[in-house]
Amino acid sequence: MFSKLIKAKKTFFLNGTWGSGKTECLNMVSNQAEEKNFIFLKLWELKDEIVDSHYQN
């Protein structure tokens, strides 16, 4: 299904609650893709010094 959608360069954003299957969906799509040109970003792992300093004070 998604393999036809990902032939051209695109950006997808998945949003959902923890355990709703976002990672499983991404894994299925990347496994079905003919070309494996995926970049996975784990945005919850990014740190922002400004935000961190706000919560430390």
Per-residue pLDDT tens digits for 25-54: 888 887 877 666 777 777 767 677 766 776
Q: Residue 55: inside a domain, yes or no? A: no
DSSP3 helix / strand / coil % (the chain, rounded to 5)? 45, 0, 55
Tokens of 28: 């299925």
- Total number of domains constituting the chain: 1
Inform me whether the pLDDT recorded for 20 exceeds 90: yes
Q: Residue 57: inside a domain, yes or no? A: no
In whole angstroms, how far apart are CA 55 and each of 2, 3, 36, 47, 49?
Answer: 40, 42, 39, 12, 10
pLDDT at 15: 84
Q: Residue 11: inside a domain, yes or no? A: yes
Q: Residue 53: inside a domain, yes or no? A: no
Q: Residue 56: inside a domain, yes or no? A: no
In Å, how far from its chain's centre is CA 46?
13
Q: Residue 3: inside a domain, yes or no? A: yes
Tell me which residue range forms the domain holding 41. Answer: 1-46
Q: Residue 37: inside a domain, yes or no? A: yes
pTM of the model: 0.50
Cα Dmax for the chain: 49
